[in-house]
Amino acid sequence: MDTTRVGQILRQQGTVALPGVYDTLSAKICEKAGFPMTFISGYSVAATAIGEPDLGLLTQTEITDRARRICMSFEQFNDLIGVDDRIALAERFGVES
């Protein structure tokens, strides 16, 4: 018996439309539209990161890191915990309001 979230969704819903995402905004739009899960592709990451098709210019680590950051944003940025740290980090990199 599959106990992963993907397995649970597939057992409950059967066939699922699976939209592709490339950043946190596109993932959140899909979530708000009611999609239970999404996927990320090498092409979408390459196109939005370097403006080129996926011709092996990005490593698997870079693509996986993008997916990790998208997932982390759902956990980290939905509350006020750590706002001071994020502001300090942004200021360190020269971001100003």
- Could you tell me if residue 4 is inside a domain? no
Q: Is residue 6 part of a domain?
A: no
Q: Do 63 and 42 touch, CB atoms closer than 8 A? A: yes
Cite the DSSP H helix spans in 1-97.
5-13, 24-32, 42-49, 60-76, 83-92
- For residue 72, is it within any domain? yes
> Residue 30 belongs to what domain range?
20-92
Residue 29's pLDDT is: 92
What's residue 34's pLDDT?
92
pLDDT in tens, 21-36: 998 899 999 999 999 9
Question: What pLDDT shows up at residue 94?
Answer: 75
Evaluate whether residue 47 is within a structural domain: yes
**Would you say residue 35 lies in a domain?**
yes
The number of domains in the chain is 1
Q: Do the domain assignments include residue 58?
A: yes
Q: Is residue 9 part of a domain?
A: no
In the chain (97 residues long), the average pLDDT of successive 10-residue segments reads 77 90 91 91 90 88 87 67 67 69
Residue 14 resides in a domain: no
